[in-house]
A and B are shown apart, each in its own frame.
Chain A
Amino acid sequence: MWSRFAPPVGMDRRHFLSHMAGASALLGSSMSLGHSLRVHADTLKKNHKSCILLWMGGGPSSMDIWDLKPGTDNGGPFKAISTTGDMQICEHMPLMAKQMHHMSIVRSMSTREADHNRGRYYMHTGYVPDANVDYPSYGSVMAHELASQRPELQIPPFVSIGGASEGPGFLGMSWAPLGVSSNGRIRNLEMKLENDRLTQRRIALELIENSFIAQNRGAVLEDHRKVQGKTFDLMTSTQMKAFDVEKEPEEAKERYGKNNFGQGCLLARRLVEAGVPFAEVDLGGWDNHQGIFRTLENDRLPVLDKAMSALVEDLSQRGLLEDTCIVWMGEFARTPRINADAGRDHWAKAWSVVVGGGKFKGGKAVGATSEDGTEVVGEPYSSEDLMASVCHALGISLETTFTSRNGRPMKIANSGKVIKDLFG
């Protein structure tokens, strides 16, 4: 009878027990940690693709950052400066200016959703909100496609840092983001329970869980079991060291910026090094209906500039950029016309996003907007096109089709078209 209290299938007992000993097992020393990660990174380089989404909640004014119109009525006070790429960007992004040979700007995004919730959903999924079908977000899609490349990964494949991201939609809760704060701390991770006891409790739990699932009361119950399985994995995994951003040298913390977004980007780099396929880092505060230029110059842009440039620089120096895509975007951008409160309102018709890494060619500015910034000149690109391009840059086939639970096939990235200029 005692054999029934063996560790769960899929986890070897010694491995399991060694991490049941308490919090100390989850920490480890920083020396061995750094070393093992570097070794790990070398093996990852071969075929492990990852993606980091820098999500700018609120809708950043891309014409004040990536597509300046100095000297025009709508242009605002910021000057454009040259970069290492074939474009100019805002003077308050001097560190990024030195990294732009790795990154490209799409200046001809044109979308229709200018409400925060709708825009956030559309840019995260490639689909406009639909009351009947719940679509999976970037992180869930990419994690779903890339997780099979690394069966040894015990950390959830989609980590959302400092924000909520969007959900897994019809892929089910087991593809939901693991939300963590930017210091990498995960609430309630510690068990404070002696060695075998959790395993024993789990047997009692699974008796109830499994027989209830067998009663056929809905697919959500199966998802519940899967999420619990992932939770057990996470609580007992040495890979969780990746979250220990505190162990980074002081120099790195300073370079990324000692704020939530800076530390979040640093954490995202650590997660990618540990093999996590998708990390999303949230920087809010872009909904600048009032006093936009002061806020951008003194607050948002310095935070963004430091963290984003440090991330690009680190990934490229560590040889990870060719396998790691970086995507910078918000739900939309802001009106070219400056309003009476010296702010800009919501604008989705013509705006910019930034991508780099993976198969993306760096240093380019693709597309353009009219002189007053209100219209796209030339071919406009959609959320679907951007998502298709990111998939392509990660080597994910655009022929990939998801089958939702009711059997309806759905093409990845909503059949968007790859933005060719980003690749050659």
Chain B
Amino acid sequence: MARIIQDKCSQPAFKQARFGNSTRKRGKFRIFSPLVGGLNLRRAGGFFFRIAVLLFAANVAIAADDKPAAKKDSKRATLPVQVAKIDASMQASWEDNKIKPSPVEDEVKWCRRLFLDLIGRIPSYDEFADFAKDKSPDKKLNLVNRLLNDDRYTEEYANHWSSVWTNILIGRNGGMENRSLTNREGMQKYLRDSFAQNKPYNEMVVELVTATGTTKPGTEGFNGATNFLAMKVNEENGTQATAAVSRIFLGLQVQCTQCHNHPFNQWKQQKFWEFNAFFRQSRALRRYVSGSVNRDIDHAEIVNEDFAGEGRRPEQAEIYYQLRNGLTKVAYPAFVDGTEIGKSGYVSQVNRRNELGKLMMESPFLDKSIVNRMWAHFLGYGFTKPIDDLGPHNPTTQPELFDELSSDFRAASYDLKQLIVWITMSKPYQLSSKITKDNASDEPSLGESPKFSHFYTRQMNAEQLFQSLAVATQANRKGNLEEQQKKREDWMRQFVVAFGTDEGDETTTFNGSIPQSLMLFNGDLIREAISTESGSWLHAMTQNKGTIADKVQYLYIAGLGRRARQEEVNVAQQLLAARKNDVGGMLQDMWWAILNSNEFIFNH
């Protein structure tokens, strides 16, 4: 019943929007132009016209996408061949599985999705409007390219991928531990710089695996890449480094084979220790705060040192490990495919990590693991589950496509931006998150392999929430980039729960549970976002001209990328009465409701 009412209510609103120009001439709506600091809404034309454009364009786009638009415009940019490869493979899989894909998503929703996945935040009001206004048939590709290549977005692009990769490489808690050797800022700086210059992925991997130098920015010999391994090479003979490097960059789960042959995994205990042998020249040396009585750690330095081997024969530097029956065996460095390197422990003769870096560059697992990771980043699930287990025991979805994209990525010189274009322009990324009766069976959370026949709704992570609020209410935020970053790190810590094991396992409470709900209801960040104090975003809005309805519409577009429905505007009117005509109070209540809604917190 409620739904029917809403649909009826939204009809007239849509018509007004669609014919926004004439409505404006009738003078029924006053023009609302919130020229407040930081909002950048300085162009003429007014608020309402833009909403009209926005919705109008979106609706046209939905209709147009069902037809082969390319035929109409011969000047359309050509898409990389990989897009067609993906689409063909998906189409075949949908037919095989007797399901039909959902329709293509509303363009404005797609725009929100792209911003969240690609630069880690929702679009601003202006960015929504610019996209809706764009009449080019290549508007989607143009937007992808703009976010990837326009100088305006370089910093945000680099920051976003830096935070994604910081979590992959050192976890959410990395650098926060007592007497940590990891410098979180150092890790982030290295990654920011790498993504800002679009460093080829393989180069980045080599740098991370072979890094020497200090962990802390500003110290002599600083190399931020060292932070990946700083806490992983010293303890337990570098077994953490062994497990992390193989899992993250090669998609091989070896941690269990440290102690025994794995029952399902082809990896054997021998392989684990052969791989481990590559890390045995490496040490993270502690550098103390000068004059500190308690020997507080200032930073660490990763060095390669000659390794004498456990048999004290540096020219044949072997290591020993124990089988479960107590027998001792010997291992020398050898790569996962069995390739051996020189056995010498002298760094001048064999630099074991450098050799490992070279061998990794030849491995097809390097290509597959990153393609899988990026695919899952944009589409919610990878070709395998979990994404960092590519072992032969683990089934693969659409293996031919997966192999082809992986070798294509190698052929494209590991250019991550190209890979992003392939994925974000492919059909599955365009699909609506609305589930239809023809694809309801495609539900990977229930254990089915993903068919990508509709976009999988998923929650924003904490970083995306923080950055999205920063954009939507930027007038409320103070401080430069560094202070912002610091503030975000502090805020993020509340969600980290460590398991207290040697391996630094952790989880997050930003997972849709009650603590997250409480944070969004009552937390400081939300209180700041809905502040109506002088100088705040909402305060500026109350001071500006425009009808109540205009202001409410503005909130809905800024937060949800859509207009408020009539019923929602009615509630705003009632809230205004409840607030005794305090516009700021009403806007605060509405903005709180928007930020707490599923439509806001989910990427859909």
Contact = CB atoms under 8 A, between A and B. Distances in A.
Contact of B521 (A120, A203, A231): A231
Contacts of B384: 131
A179 B575 contact: no
Interface in B123-168: none
B343 interface: no
B501 A57 contact: yes
A378 B6 CA distance: 67
Interface in B423-444: 433-435, 443
A89 B91 CA distance: 64
A406 B447 contact: yes
A190 B519 CA distance: 10
A221 interface: yes
Contacts of B519: 187-188
A208 B567 CA distance: 10
A343 B7 CA distance: 67
B513 A218 contact: no
B407 interface: no
A406 B499 CA distance: 31
A214 B602 contact: no
B599 A116 contact: no
Contacts of A9: none
Most buried by A among B509, B514, B523: B514
A176 interface: yes
Interface in B243-269: 255-256, 259-260, 263
B73 interface: no
A179 to B, nearest CB: 6
A196 B589 CA distance: 12
B256, B503, B518 pick with most chain A CB within 10 angstroms:
B518
Most buried by B among A120, A205, A219: A205
Interface in B584-600: 589-590, 592-594, 596-600
A218 B435 contact: yes
Interface stretch (A11-19, A268-276, A283-291): A283-291
A178 B514 contact: yes
A405 B236 contact: no
B589 A131 contact: no
Contacts of B523: 187-188
A379 B385 CA distance: 35
A131 B389 CA distance: 10
Nearest to B384: A131
Nearest to B324: A349
Contact of B517 (A132, A164, A208, A231): A231
Interface stretch (A222-230, A243-251, A382-390): A222-230
Contacts of B386: 131
B494 interface: yes
B522 A132 contact: no
A41 B259 CA distance: 48
Interface in B495-519: 497, 499-503, 505, 507, 509, 511-515, 517-519
Nearest to B3: A214
Contact of B326 (A225, A289, A337): A337
Interface string A197-214: 100111111011111111
A355 B524 CA distance: 42
Nearest to A203: B571
Nearest to B262: A115
A216 interface: yes
B547 interface: no
Task: Choose among A117, A212, A224 the residue with the greatest number of B CB atoms under 10 Å from its CB.
Answer: A224
Interface residues of A, number: 79
Nearest to B435: A216
A197 B522 contact: no
Contacts of A214: 2-3
Nearest to A205: B593
Contacts of B593: 201-202, 204-205, 207-208
A207 B9 CA distance: 13
Contact of B446 (A170, A179, A187, A197): A170
B604 interface: yes
A81 interface: no
Given A187-B518, A204-B589, A218-B435, A405 B446 contact: yes
Given A5-B578, A118-B256, A179 B497 contact: yes
A214 B3 CA distance: 8
A163 B259 CA distance: 27
A227 B512 CA distance: 8
Contacts of A215: 434
B448 interface: yes
Contact of B589 (A156, A189, A201): A201
A219 B518 contact: no
Nearest to B589: A201
Interface in A113-135: 114-118, 120, 130-134
B574 A5 contact: yes
Given A1-B574, A204-B572, A224 B512 contact: yes
B166 to A, nearest CB: 20
A227 B447 CA distance: 23
Contact of B602 (A2, A132, A211, A220): A220
B249 to A, nearest CB: 19
B597 A209 contact: yes
B457 interface: yes
Contacts of A164: 497, 499, 507, 509
Contacts of A220: 445, 457-459, 512, 602
A171 B497 CA distance: 22
B225 interface: no
A69 B570 CA distance: 75
A4 interface: yes
A230 B447 CA distance: 27
A366 interface: no
A115 B572 contact: no
Contacts of B433: 217-218
A220 B255 CA distance: 32
A20 B596 CA distance: 19
A225 B512 contact: no
A202 B500 CA distance: 38
Contact of A405 (B443, B503, B600): B443
Contacts of A58: 499-502
B34 to A, nearest CB: 21
Interface in A164-185: 164, 167, 170, 173, 176-179
B385 A131 contact: yes
Interface string A45-75: 0000000000001100000000000000000
B379 to A, nearest CB: 14
Interface string B324-340: 00100000000000000
A212 B499 contact: no
B601 interface: yes
Contacts of A2: 574
B513 A177 contact: yes
Given A4-B574, A405-B443, A224 B601 contact: yes
B526 to A, nearest CB: 9
A182 B434 CA distance: 42
B6 A211 contact: yes
Given A178-B515, A218-B456, 5 more contacts: A132-B449, A170-B446, A192-B522, A284-B500, A289-B236
21 contacts: A115-B255, A115-B256, A116-B501, A118-B256, A173-B511, A173-B512, A173-B513, A176-B514, A179-B513, A186-B518, A187-B515, A205-B596, A208-B560, A211-B6, A216-B434, A217-B433, A231-B517, A235-B521, A287-B501, A404-B446, A408-B447
Q: Which 6 A-B pairs have the closest CB atoms?
A: A284-B500, A204-B593, A406-B446, A132-B447, A131-B385, A208-B597
Interface of B: 2-3, 6, 236, 255-256, 259-260, 263, 326, 384-386, 389, 394, 433-435, 443, 445-449, 456-459, 494, 497, 499-503, 505, 507, 509, 511-515, 517-519, 521-523, 560, 565, 567-568, 571-572, 574-575, 578, 589-590, 592-594, 596-602, 604
